[in-house]
Structure 1
Amino acid sequence: MPYGPQSVLGDVLRNPQAASVVRTYMPGLENEPMISTLLRGRLELVTAMVQPLRVDPVARDAFYAGLATVADTAVEEPLVEPETVPLADYESADVAVGSARLVQRTSVRQWRHFEVELHGPAHGNPFTEVELHAEFSQGERTLTAHGFYDGEGVYRIRFMPDQEGEWAFRTSSNARSLDGITGGFACDPAGPDDHGPVRVHERFHFHHADGTRILPLGTTAYDWTNQGEDLEKQTLQTLADSPFNKIRMGVFPKSFVYSTGEPPSFPFEGSPETGWDFQRPNPAYFRHLEERIEQLGDLGIEADLILFHPYDRWGFSDMGPVADDRYLRYVVARLAAHANVWWSLANEYDCMFSKDAAHWPRSAAVIRERDPHDHLMSVHNWVELYDNSADWVTHSSIQRGPEDTRTWREQWDKPVALDEMGYEGDIDWGWGNLTAQEMVRRCWDGVVRGGYVTHGECYLADDDILWWAKGGVLKGESTSRLEFLRTILEQTPSDAAGIDPLPGEFDFPVGGVEGRYHLTYFGAAQPGVRSFALRPGTRYRAEIIDTWNMTVTEVPGSHEGEFTLTLPGRPYIAVRLLAVAGHNG
């Protein structure tokens, strides 16, 4: 049977004659920034993504005609890595139980991470051969936190106490020296900026574990933690001066357009030239990542961590199921005690050709089993929306425009995070050259429809530093307007969970809090007047919000039932109606 559009590229390349056809029509394929992902892709997907076949249908037809003359040869299935099971005799019987040296603090604030540091054995491969966890107890309540190996004979177990008072712990391990170690600590009151992990609240919204409301307004800088000290510090300063309280970012380095350099270090031992030992994480890489996550937390910014992504030329997108699960256990053990972590299983899950449908619920189960603090979890799409009704999905993470936000809320009965609506910028890709006005319009539209929105920016620069990929500085005009949007959001009644869709006319979205607070957004339209029909019995003050020029103008008088307002007759206007105290029906 000849090769064709349904053939997998990696299989085709194993046949020398077919590989010759590929090299003829896709020269330089091995230098594609996503080569590790493309190798697992069907040819119909690869030819839609790679130049010159992507834009040349004649060449594409000739490519398939050339392949049709080559017989499809049987391809051996790749070897599947066996699971490593830690053995009871990792340390010999003459090693005293609980003899590892313990280092710990005596107290920690609520919602901060407490750490058990153990100095123990380093022979063999402790990453795979040692199992370590601890039971943390307060009264009758017990939580399990898993440990990880941090190199040079050091093991760590991290835990985030959620209640004040005295806590005790006891370790368990197949390594005798790490087993049965006990201790305790005092959990002091939380600091003024410590509110705990973010949870879903009232079905469609979010709050921190202590009940503090959070209205996420995100941005995207996928690979900012792999850019070196100077640029990363600049990114942190930019974030400190920005309105964003959530950032989408990857654990693995990224290989894609405008992000083609080598990172300063890699997540596993090895090198691009010699390959990787997926059984040996590089602790220095993850220490650096967690330092940046801590710095984000100090700025009040949630780290929406992308655990897998397809933008890969090193092989991290195709490690195999056993290595994937092992990596997840390691990352969760290291990072789950940070209050500002969200788990995003993937960026564009349906572009990860090496993952089958079973990968995502299996990964979610690994995380849930290893995360005692129950952080938020989502999975982000490329073309096909994930089935966000799955019980492990806490909120939807969507790559689409905002128009169907209300439908998705009703379909999944969960918060909707519009995490990728396109990017303000001027690059040659349609998703990365929105005007600032359009970026702001989509954000306002999504918010008024009851969603939570994420910004991004892709401006070309002489230094080849695009915020969306590498961080740095923000160059566009949307950020200040989104700061204004955040101010408006925070003026939503403080006892309300957030903005919900409200009944309105068919033509423009309306959101807010029924009978108390109404926002109507007109986007790129420019009405000179607008009629409103609200339930009688409540009088409202009316304000005209210019979302681009960032002004709020109060309309004289108050209004009830059916009324008409004169508007500026220009785009990007919203009307806010606020119930007058003492006039609720």
Structure 2
Amino acid sequence: MKLNFKNSAIIIVLVFLNSFKIFAQEKVEQWNRFEIKLQHHNKGNSFNDVQLSAKFFNSDTTFFVSGFYDGNDIFKIRFMPQEIGKWNYIILSNIDSFNNKKGSFECIKATGKNHGIIKVSDTYYFKHADGKNYYPFGTTAYAWQHMGNELQEETLRSLKKSGFNKVRMCVFPKDYTLVKEEPIFYPFEVKKIETDTKGKKVFTWDFEKFNPLFFQHLEERIDDLAKLGIEADLILFHPYDKGRWGFDSMPNDINLKYLKYLTARLASFKNIWWSLANEWDFLKAKTVKDWDLLTKTVVKNDPYMHMCSIHGSTSTYYNYWKPEFTHVSIQDEAPVLNSYSAATLRNIYKKPIVFDEVGYEGNLKSRWGRHSPEQMTHLVWNGIIAGTYVTHGETYMFHNEKDTIYWADGGSFKGTSWKRISFLRDIVEEAPEPLFMADISRDLNTASAGKGYYLIYFGNEVNESWFFNLPKKNGDLEKLKPGTKFKVEIIDTWDMTITTHPITFETKAIDNYRFYDKDMKDIRLPLKPYIALRITEIH
């Protein structure tokens, strides 16, 4: 039997323990998946009847991981090792042939672009497990993995060239004005399909049995994203069902069973984020108490503590101070109409802020889907200057509602802001540290990335010239001193050009809050909006 374990340095071995077969890897890279594959024929419902888990441990760390049934008499246990060296495991099960079976494998050092899972860093930011800074420059493609295979492949090609490193996507299929396609697979087994008087399909589900093909396909696409260096921000529930399938109104016992099965399958994927819901307040079948329970269920069943949040409708904020939420996921355009409002929100929550919807670039009649590309780019810049993050989306419709709209279906980008956002990502990743506003209460344009690095964004302003000046304050860092020399680069955020200004500037204090050039030198600026300056110290 040949097994294909993606994204791992693998040697497959077949271990015989009392005539019992375990298919597993002998070696796996740090933060990649170690998988145990077990075979057993059960006459009943294997999703309910079989209890399966494993204890993984090394010299000083222990993890308990749930297993799952993958169909065709196959059971699996997955584990993501985070420390190199030898790991041991013991299988725990109510199936005698599984129970108490033992084994081990070696976790080897990560290679290439494997930087590990994302964690919160320094209150407001994100880092990979290996310490590499991560800046989420995401896009939205809610139902892309439910489209036809050809369109899915087109989506992956588009993402590969885009520069995006996070994708918001729904686990369940979507029924909405602009996305009506029937999914390839369903998450549960179908008992029967009937047709009502209007010709509409009516599904009766067997909620006691998952459809492994649905989840296998989802896993394949998550792995495809991992190859591109993209995080899968998985939306676990959404209100865009409207009775077509009924996944938005399942009873809580089924919701909990679904979450436990999903986390058992996916928690070992390093590029997973959990988003409990999109527009949670529109799911009328669930209360805030329900959402709290569902959130705690996900966190409890994820031993690796991936990123986790919940997303409301416009200006609907959950209690993001709850410890289960690693970051704030917001649908609100108002805070990024300027940078300081976004920065203020960051200071209130004391967590990373991700504006996962501020409207989309497009031409829809709905106000949320008709940003110009300039406006979309501008909102992302405002969020970045504030030390927060803004997610992109695209909603162009040129013919009718059957158009392939990236925001829902994926496919190819038809707009132009995505190129400018990729350009901005390069600028942000070249900075020595994450950005924050240097003097939030006094300076509305200037961000800092530590000592000797500033990024100033003028937004909609059209300026002929600018006197060199910087705030004395630099967040909580050491204040700027007189006699410091700087170079200035002019960034055209729309034309994506960076021009080095030929003059060196030297700071001189004018008052207790502001430094200008000692000779009051100024800079000629292009007479156009969306200009930024990168100012770096000359040593």
2:228 pairs with 1:299: yes
Cα shift at 1:406: 1.0
Q: Which aligned runs of 4 or more in structure 1 are off by greater than 6 angstroms?
A: none
Paired AA for residue 226 in structure 1: H
Aligned position for 1:543: 489
2:527 pairs with 1:569: yes
2:56 pairs with 1:164: no
Aligned position for 1:511: 447
Kept after mapping to 2: 8 A contact 1:456/1:467: yes
- TM norm structure 1: 0.80
Cα shift at 1:504: 6.0
Moved more, 567-576 or 469-478: 567-576
Superposition pairs of residues 270-285 of structure 1, within 5 angstroms = 270=190, 271=193, 273-285=202-214
**Secondary structure of 2:262's match?**
helix
Aligned position for 1:186: 106
Structure 1: unaligned runs, 5 residues or longer? 1-96
2:326 pairs with 1:427: no
Aligned counterparts of 2:306 and 2:325: Cα–Cα separation in 1: 11
Kept after mapping to 1: 8 A contact 2:443/2:471: no
Kept after mapping to 2: 8 A contact 1:98/1:179: no
Paired AA for residue 500 in structure 1: F
Aligned position for 1:527: 463
Aligned counterparts of 1:533 and 1:239: Cα–Cα separation in 2: 38
Question: Structure 1, residues 56-101: CA drift from partner, whole Å, max 9, x if none?
Answer: xxxxxxxxxxxxxxxxxxxxxxxxxxxxxxxxxxxxxxxxx98753
Cα shift at 1:442: 0.4
Aligned counterparts of 2:62 and 2:18: Cα–Cα separation in 1: 21
2:405 pairs with 1:466: yes
**Secondary structure of 1:241's match?**
helix
Match of 1:417 among 354, 358, 365: 354
Cα shift at 1:486: 1.0
Aligned position for 2:270: 339
Aligned position for 2:12: none
Paired AA for residue 528 in structure 2: R
Moved more, 354-363 or 264-273: 264-273
Q: 1:137 to 1:98 in 2, by over 3 A?
A: farther
Cα shift at 1:138: 0.8
Aligned counterparts of 1:551 and 1:226: Cα–Cα separation in 2: 38
**Secondary structure of 1:135's match?**
strand
Q: 1:515 to 1:317 in 2, by over 3 A?
A: same
Paired AA for residue 546 in structure 1: D
* Structure having the larger proportion of residues in strand: 2
Kept after mapping to 1: 8 A contact 2:145/2:152: yes
Paired AA for residue 431 in structure 2: T
2:326 pairs with 1:394: yes
Cα shift at 1:507: 7.2
Kept after mapping to 2: 8 A contact 1:520/1:575: yes
Aligned position for 1:554: 500
Paired AA for residue 499 in structure 2: T
Cα shift at 1:129: 2.2
Question: Structure 1, residues 479-514: CA drift from partner, whole Å, max 9, x if none?
Answer: 111111111111211xx2x11111167574321224
Paired AA for residue 102 in structure 2: T
2:301 pairs with 1:364: no
Cα shift at 1:144: 1.0
Aligned position for 1:406: 343
Aligned counterparts of 2:203 and 2:530: Cα–Cα separation in 1: 55
Kept after mapping to 1: 8 A contact 2:26/2:105: yes
Paired AA for residue 480 in structure 1: K
Aligned counterparts of 1:517 and 1:573: Cα–Cα separation in 2: 17
Question: Structure 1, residues 373-411: CA drift from partner, whole Å, max 9, x if none?
Answer: 111101111031111111111000111122432122111
Superposition pairs of residues 42-57 of structure 1, within 5 angstroms = none
2:307 pairs with 1:376: yes
- TM norm structure 2: 0.86
Cα shift at 1:555: 2.0
Kept after mapping to 1: 8 A contact 2:239/2:248: yes
Q: 1:551 to 1:392 in 2, by over 3 A?
A: same
Report % sequence identity. Answer: 40
**Secondary structure of 1:518's match?**
strand
Question: Structure 1, residues 418-440: CA drift from partner, whole Å, max 9, x if none?
Answer: 11111111111111111100000
Kept after mapping to 1: 8 A contact 2:238/2:248: yes
2:435 pairs with 1:481: no
Aligned counterparts of 1:426 and 1:568: Cα–Cα separation in 2: 29
Aligned counterparts of 1:126 and 1:242: Cα–Cα separation in 2: 42
Aligned counterparts of 1:293 and 1:574: Cα–Cα separation in 2: 36
**Secondary structure of 1:333's match?**
helix
Kept after mapping to 2: 8 A contact 1:127/1:279: yes
Paired AA for residue 277 in structure 1: D
Kept after mapping to 1: 8 A contact 2:143/2:409: yes
Cα shift at 1:214: 1.2
Aligned position for 1:86: none
Cα shift at 1:279: 1.6
Aligned position for 2:8: none
Kept after mapping to 2: 8 A contact 1:305/1:341: yes
Cα shift at 1:237: 0.7
Superposition pairs of residues 487-506 of structure 1, within 5 angstroms = 487-493=426-432, 496=433, 498-503=434-439
Q: 1:481 to 1:165 in 2, by over 3 A?
A: same
Q: 1:284 to 1:368 in 2, by over 3 A?
A: same
Kept after mapping to 2: 8 A contact 1:103/1:117: yes
Kept after mapping to 1: 8 A contact 2:143/2:408: yes
Kept after mapping to 1: 8 A contact 2:462/2:527: yes
Kept after mapping to 2: 8 A contact 1:426/1:459: yes
Cα shift at 1:296: 0.4
Aligned position for 2:10: none
Aligned position for 1:14: none
Superposition pairs of residues 292-331 of structure 1, within 5 angstroms = 292-312=221-241, 313-331=244-262
Cα shift at 1:140: 3.3
Q: What is the alpha-carbon root mean square deviation over aligned residues?
A: 1.7
Superposition pairs of residues 124-135 of structure 1, within 5 angstroms = 124-135=44-55
Cα shift at 1:286: 0.3
Kept after mapping to 1: 8 A contact 2:203/2:245: no
2:176 pairs with 1:251: no
- Between the two proteins, the alignment pairs up a number of residues equal to 482
Aligned counterparts of 2:398 and 2:111: Cα–Cα separation in 1: 41
2:115 pairs with 1:203: no
